């Protein structure tokens, strides 16, 4: 889940190819009216030193979360950047401080422990929205304060995880698949079983996501079961299959694999599409595939926790991100698929036809959203996941 050429930019440490660079420069002209400079920067950079990060962390007193002029946001890496924050601040006068998390479970644990009381906006994925609703952790949205919901595609107007979008607004969606170095793998991996079938040649050169539901779900899918299986026997079978592969894994990791892929230390990694496409933009020797048998389709959302100290600013942030121009730029430069129909219609044809970004309906029909589980089944997943990752 920090850019500089337009409102959003590729990470400053990345080297975009010429085609991508020209494309972004073209985008810059379209948003010249809202590109800003010399704005105060308050984003918590995940690459900052521990000392810098500590200074910006809400619960450590970096900024008073109750200040009506400050909005604390808790989100995935690369879902915001300096230019976006600066544009929002210039428009509203509200300063923004962003902290990041690497999994829904990490976010939930922090919020439940009281470590997230300063946050007024968080970005949970679909299944986590439903779980947090059940835990009474989310504010029911006042639709009269939100502008642009009518532009959301119909399939996201009444999602199964949040009927009528009562507590959440869809921000982005994507898939999970395999990102690989084409210089090492001359033939693309077509399905999940590729990892097991080629484990000896890929030994210590592949990684899986450090995400219990994604990785256990992937193994379940490879066995012909649902990502959302609740059968203890199927979950245990998935654990056993995962254990077979573990000796050949370099690690479980959700981000930070780009350098290993580009250097050739890694050959293939399980990745979220948003991270995969961002990596491909850096170096087109990489490629991304959605396995033929199907994968997960995730939706990340914007929600206001019940503990939010700055609800007014939270609604401003939601409306800012629902602006079709902003939603379009999220897709063009942050590599996530937009649920905003107006933004989608305005995308260049090269993006709308990119099936890595917008998969075919035929392939999507084989994919599944990750559903919330009851406490007993969640405990079963967690037990086997702990055994698999600590063994």
pLDDT in tens, 127-137: 999 999 999 99
> Is residue 109 within 8 Å of 118, Cβ to Cβ?
no
Residue 65 pLDDT: 40
Residue 64 has pLDDT above 70, yes or no: no
Beta bridge partners of 101: 76
Q: For domain 174-297+358-390, give the CATH number.
A: 3.40.190.10
Residue 1 has pLDDT above 90, yes or no: no
Residue 47 pLDDT: 38
Average pLDDT score over residue span 208-216? 95
CA–CA separation, 14 and 250 (whole Å): 24
pLDDT in tens, 239-279: 999 999 999 999 999 989 999 999 999 999 999 999 999 99
Task: Choose which CATH entry (3.10.450.50, 3.40.50.970, 3.40.190.10, 3.90.1150.10) describes domain 18-173+299-352.
Answer: 3.40.190.10
Residue 45 pLDDT: 38
What confidence category does residue 205 fall into, taking pLDDT thresholds of 50, 70 and 90? very high
> Is residue 15 within 8 Å of 282, Cβ to Cβ?
yes
> Is residue 238 within 8 Å of 219, Cβ to Cβ?
yes
Specify the higher pLDDT residue, 115 or 24. Answer: 115
Average pLDDT score over residue span 351-375? 94
> Is residue 250 within 8 Å of 330, Cβ to Cβ?
no
Residue 58 has pLDDT above 60, yes or no: no
Block residue for tokens 């521990």: 50
Residue 66 pLDDT: 53
Residue 343 pLDDT: 98
Take residue 57 and report the two structure tokens written for it: 């962390």
Tell me whether the CATH fold assigned to 18-173+299-352 matches the one assigned to 174-297+358-390: yes
Specify the higher pLDDT residue, 303 or 103. Answer: 303
Residue 143 has pLDDT above 60, yes or no: yes
> Is residue 313 within 8 Å of 92, Cβ to Cβ?
yes
**Residue 304: which of 294, 319, 290, 292 has the closest Cα?**
319
What is the percent of the chain where pLDDT is above 70?
A: 83
Q: Is the C-alpha dihedral spanning 356, 362, 366, 368 positive or negative?
A: positive
Average pLDDT score over residue span 94-108? 94
What is the percent of the chain where pLDDT is above 90?
A: 76
**Residue 365: which of 130, 156, 168, 175 has the closest Cα?**
175
Residue 138 has pLDDT above 90, yes or no: yes
The DSSP annotation for 285-319 comes to TEEEE--TT--BEEEEEEB-BTT-S-HHHHHHHHH
**Residue 93: which of 239, 306, 310, 283 has the closest Cα?**
310
Please report, for the chain, the start and end positions of each structural domain, with discontinuous segments joined by +: 18-173+299-352, 174-297+358-390
Take residue 93 and report the two structure tokens written for it: 């006068």
What confidence category does residue 186 fall into, taking pLDDT thresholds of 50, 70 and 90? confident
Residue 213 has pLDDT above 60, yes or no: yes
Residue 243 pLDDT: 98
Residue 3 pLDDT: 26
pLDDT in tens, 23-55: 333 333 333 333 333 333 333 333 333 333 333
Residue 207 pLDDT: 98
Residue 361 pLDDT: 95
């Amino acid at each position: 889940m920090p850019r500089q050429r337009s409102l959003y930019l590729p990470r400053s440490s990345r080297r975009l190819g010429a085609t991508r660079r020209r494309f972004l420069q073209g985008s810059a002209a379209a948003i010249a009216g809202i590109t800003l400079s010399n704005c105060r920067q308050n984003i918590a950079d995940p690459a900052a030193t521990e000392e810098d990060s500590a200074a910006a962390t809400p619960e450590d007193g970096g900024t008073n979360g109750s200040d009506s002029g400050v909005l604390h946001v808790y989100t995935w890496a690369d879902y915001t950047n300096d230019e976006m924050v600066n544009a929002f601040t210039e428009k509203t006068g509200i300063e923004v401080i962003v902290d990041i998390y690497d999994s829904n479970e990490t976010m939930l644990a922090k919020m439940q422990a009281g470590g997230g009381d300063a946050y007024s906006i968080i970005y949970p994925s679909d299944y986590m929205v439903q779980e947090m609703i059940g835990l009474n952790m989310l504010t029911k949205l006042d639709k009269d304060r939100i502008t642009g919901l009518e532009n959301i595609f119909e399939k996201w107007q009444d999602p199964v995880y949040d009927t009528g979008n009562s507590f959440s607004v869809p921000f982005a969606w994507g898939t999970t698949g395999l990102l690989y170095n084409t210089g090492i793998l001359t033939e693309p991996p077509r399905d999940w079983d590729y990892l097991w079938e080629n484990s000896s040649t890929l030994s210590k050169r592949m990684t899986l996501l450090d995400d219990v539901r994604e990785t256990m779900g992937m193994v379940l899918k490879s066995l012909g079961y649902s990502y959302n299986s609740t059968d203890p026997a199927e979950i245990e079978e998935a654990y056993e299959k995962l254990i077979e592969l573990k000796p050949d894994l370099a690690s479980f990791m959700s981000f930070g694999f780009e350098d290993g892929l580009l250097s050739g230390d890694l050959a293939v990694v399980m990745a979220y599409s948003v991270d995969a496409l961002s990596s491909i933009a850096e170096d087109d020797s990489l490629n991304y595939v959605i396995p033929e048998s199907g994968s997960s389709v995730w939706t990340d959302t914007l929600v206001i926790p019940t503990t939010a100290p700055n609800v007014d600013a939270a609604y401003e942030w939601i409306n800012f991100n629902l602006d079709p121009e902003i939603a379009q730029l999220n897709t063009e430069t942050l590599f996530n698929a937009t649920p905003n129909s107006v933004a989608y219609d305005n995308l260049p044809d090269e993006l709308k036809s990119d099936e890595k970004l917008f998969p075919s309906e035929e392939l999507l029909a084989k994919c599944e959203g990750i559903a919330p589980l009851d406490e007993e089944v969640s405990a079963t997943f967690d037990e086997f996941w702990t055994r698999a990752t600590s063994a």
